[in-house]
Amino acid sequence: MTDELLYEVRDRVGVITFNRPERMNTITIPMLDALSKRLLQADADPDVRVIVITGAGRAWCAGLDIGAAVSGEGIGGEGSNSSGNGEFNLREAPPVVLHKLDTPTIASMNGAAAGYGLDLALGCDIRIAASGAKLSAAYTARGLVPESGGTWLLPRILGWSKAAELLFTARTLSAAESLELGLVSQVVEADELEAATMALAREIAANAPLAIRAAKRMMRHAMSENLEDHVQRQYLALLPLFKTKDFREGLMAFLEKRDADFQGR
């Protein structure tokens, strides 16, 4: 692991922090490797019900470390797309890992998300932005395309026309513009971001974790299934949930008019 990526668990919430503030939290290969491993670690931990990703300093993640890429030592250098010897494996890239996780993910965007950072933010289930945060899709202005998933994610989030406009113009959006488009679900003042993020995370964590994980899997499958196939999948997902202690707890809590105490069993 690397000190440039921090991890802690608080109140059933796994908090991952980009910790390279002097470089606007730009991504290096060791950070990518550590991020994928931390995401998988959190997803496998029964004590973690929500994963929050945030940044230290004034940026959330300003993209790839361009200096390392230009020198050939970072992402984009020779061999950086292959596996082994500590090199970057695209099949284990954080946006791919994010998509496969069953644990809900929140991007707590304290500042700018650009390039690869934007791809990472789009890969999270929910995005909350500080009022001064910006989302930059300036890929084509740099002679590039989204590094890892942006062209797959943006049309699904915004629809084809708006995604095309954003990518083709290489536009940078304010937090307010991002909220209007639906790229983020909340915008709060910077000094309220952590509290707002943790409040939402705790609200999610208070619900039945097995049901939430199943719901996220269903949403993921729904992106590539027709309605008939998906309804059958939903039914098969319900059957084991009916047998859980959490289902009985949820039912009794409703009947007794009290908060449920879900144990993930």
Is it the case that residue 230 has pLDDT exceeding 50? Answer: yes
H helix runs in the chain, sequence order: 29-44, 66-71, 94-100, 116-123, 150-158, 160-169, 175-181, 193-205, 209-222, 227-242, 245-255
Q: What is the mean pLDDT of residues 14-30?
A: 93
Q: What's the confidence (pLDDT) of residue 86?
A: 46
What percent of the chain has a predicted confidence (pLDDT) above 70? Answer: 91
Instruction: Give the pLDDT band of residue 164 (cuts 50, 70, 90).
Output: very high
Is it the case that residue 225 has pLDDT exceeding 80? Answer: yes
- Please compute Rg for the chain using Cα positions: 19
Q: What's the confidence (pLDDT) of residue 148?
A: 78
> Which of 35-39, 67-71, 128-132, 203-207 is predicted least confidently?
67-71
Q: How far is CA 265 from CA 55, 205, 206, 250, in A?
A: 33, 14, 14, 12
Q: What is the mean pLDDT of residues 213-228?
A: 93
Cβ partners under 8 Å of residue 7, min gap 6: 1, 14, 15, 16, 17, 38, 41, 42
- Closest by Cα among 33, 41, 38 to 87: 33
Q: What is the mean pLDDT of residues 93-105?
A: 93
Instruction: Give the pLDDT band of residue 90 (cuts 50, 70, 90).
Output: confident
Regarding the domain with residue range 5-205, which homologous superfamily does it belong to in the CATH classification?
2-enoyl-CoA Hydratase; Chain A, domain 1 (3.90.226.10)
Is it the case that residue 156 has pLDDT exceeding 60? Answer: yes
Q: Which tens digits make up the pLDDT trace of 185-198?
A: 999 999 999 999 99
Average pLDDT, the chain: 90
Q: What's the confidence (pLDDT) of residue 85?
A: 41
Is it the case that residue 73 has pLDDT exceeding 70? Answer: no
Q: What's the confidence (pLDDT) of residue 75?
A: 55
Q: Which tens digits make up the pLDDT trace of 31-64?
A: 999 999 999 999 999 999 999 999 999 999 998 8
Q: What's the confidence (pLDDT) of residue 138?
A: 85
Is it the case that residue 15 has pLDDT exceeding 50? Answer: yes
Please give the order of strands across the beta sheet that includes 126-130. 5-10, 13-18, 50-55, 105-109, 126-130, 186-188
Instruction: Give the pLDDT band of residue 88 (cuts 50, 70, 90).
Output: low
Q: What's the confidence (pLDDT) of residue 2?
A: 78
Q: What's the confidence (pLDDT) of residue 81?
A: 47
Instruction: Tell me whether the CATH fold assigned to 5-205 matches the one assigned to 209-255.
Output: no
Domains of the chain, by residue range, sit at 5-205, 209-255
Domain 209-255 has CATH 1.25.40: no
